[in-house]
Amino acid sequence: MGVVQGDQMVLNIGPQHPSTHGVLRLEVTTDGEIVSKITPHLGYLHRCFEKHAENVTYEQVIPFTDRCDYLASMNSNFGYVVAMEELMDIEISERVQYIRVIMAELNRVASHLLALGVYGLDIGAFTPFLYMLRDRERILDMFEYTCGARLLYNYMWIGGVSHDLPKDFVKICVNFLDYFEPQIEEYNNLLTFNKIFIERTADVGVIPAEVAISYGVSGPNLRGSGVKWDVRKDEPYSIYDRFDFDIPTGTGEFGTLGDCFDRYWVRMLEVTQSVRIIRQALKDLPEGDVFETMPKKIRPPAGSVYRRTESPRGDLGYYIVSDGTPSPTRVKMRSPAFTALSCLDEVSSGWMISDVLAILGSLDIVLGEIDR
């Protein structure tokens, strides 16, 4: 009573808000339109992934990984099964390796399309979002054709995959890629090089390389800051060392290195690179049996493994501890979106409310993976 309150206002963005990309609450301290402090409040989507994993068998963990990064379930599966195969020290058949890469890269394209489209939506452009979802739909159709699921696939199993590719999958996939590549040009004309879009994203929310590294930011967010780090190239897993692809990094084309536009643009370029990988993999796809190398009994020796893979959101790591029983002692998932979100406060203080949402969108977080 009678105490001067000051002129700052606390604004709760979320948990019910159109552009928090899930159920996130941002406690934002604002001075008019200018934001001075952001505190993300997490946990609305917490589903006890790690605790669940301790109480089920190794293969039963895979459906839980689907539900972490639900926009790139294939990549979530991929990380877990690669870690498990390393722990159990099993060799898997060539065909499975190729199928996994094809699926993971297709899912990367799907995930990036959603990220790019939703980013347009955050900036206020509705139409590109639907164009990208239209094309993402065709990828989901292919997944449905292969394994019956459209979002949560449970497709990659330890030592193999749940279903072999349908006979005409290669043809369908090549058709899709032929259709899809010119579409990228359309997205660029519609959204990327729009003057207003560039005004809104260039120079906004700059993450300098050293800040990105010190926060542990990874994936397209890190590459947007100009750091050339991609697990697929730098610590190759599966058969990524056989493919010829580039790692796009931010160049600060329209503004400063590491701004929102760079992160957006890196994703757009990565889509092209993923298409390149898929084309090579489809060309070399060997014949074989996908169930052949699947172990009958999954009981890894006592020990632990840490394996990181490149998910569309970045450096997705699994730390699995085994004590020789059929269920894991500990499964820890290193979430790339979590680290990306942690730098939000440092990056977006001093910007406006609209920019905070633009920066949040450019980090491409998935709350399912952050809260686990």
Partner 1 sequence: MTVDYLIELFSKLFDSPFVSFILAVSIAGIPLFVLMALNATVAVYVERKVSAFMMDRIGPMGQGPGLHAGPWGVLQTIADAVKLLIKEDTIPSSADKLLFKVAPFIIFIGAFLGIAVLPFSSVIQVVDINIGVFYIIAVGSVGVHGIVMAGWASNNKWSLYGAMRSAAQIISYEIPAGLSIIVPIMMTSTMNLQSMIEFQSGSIWGILPNWIIFNNPFSFLAFFIFFISAVAETNRTPFDIPEAESELVAGWMTEYSGFRWAVFFLSEYANMFVVSGLAAAGFLGGWLSPIPGLFNSPIWGLFWFFSKIIFLIFVMMWFRWTFPRLRVDQLMHVCWKVFIPIAMLNIFGVGIWKLIIG
Interaction site with partner 1 (CB under 8 A)? 9, 11, 17-19, 33, 120-127, 130-131, 134, 190-191, 194, 196-197, 199-200, 352-355, 357
Would you say 123 or 277 has its CB closer to partner 1? 123
Would you say 48 or 130 has its CB closer to partner 1? 130
- How far apart are CB 24 and partner 1 at their closest, in Å? 14
Would you say 33 or 168 has its CB closer to partner 1? 33
Would you say 68 or 123 has its CB closer to partner 1? 123
- How far apart are CB 358 and partner 1 at their closest, in Å? 8
CA 159/CA 93 separation, integer angstroms: 8
HSE-up (13 A, CA, CB side) for residue 248: 21
- How far apart are CB 134 and partner 1 at their closest, in Å? 6
Would you say 33 or 210 has its CB closer to partner 1? 33
In the numeric block, which tokens belong to residue 205?
A: 């929310």
What residue ranges in the chain does DSSP mark as E strands? Answer: 9-13, 25-31, 34-41, 156-157, 160-161, 303-311, 314-322, 330-334
HSE-up (13 A, CA, CB side) for residue 100: 29
287: three-class secondary structure by DSSP? coil
Using a 10 angstrom Cβ sphere, with 0-12 exposed, 13-18 middle and 19 or more buried, the burial of residue 344 is: buried
- How far apart are CB 203 and partner 1 at their closest, in Å? 12
- How far apart are CB 128 and partner 1 at their closest, in Å? 9
Would you say 192 or 322 has its CB closer to partner 1? 192
Q: Is the peptide bond before 18 cis (omega within 30 degrees of 0)?
A: no
- How far apart are CB 17 and partner 1 at their closest, in Å? 6
CA 26/CA 139 separation, integer angstroms: 33
In the numeric block, which tokens belong to residue 70?
A: 């639900």
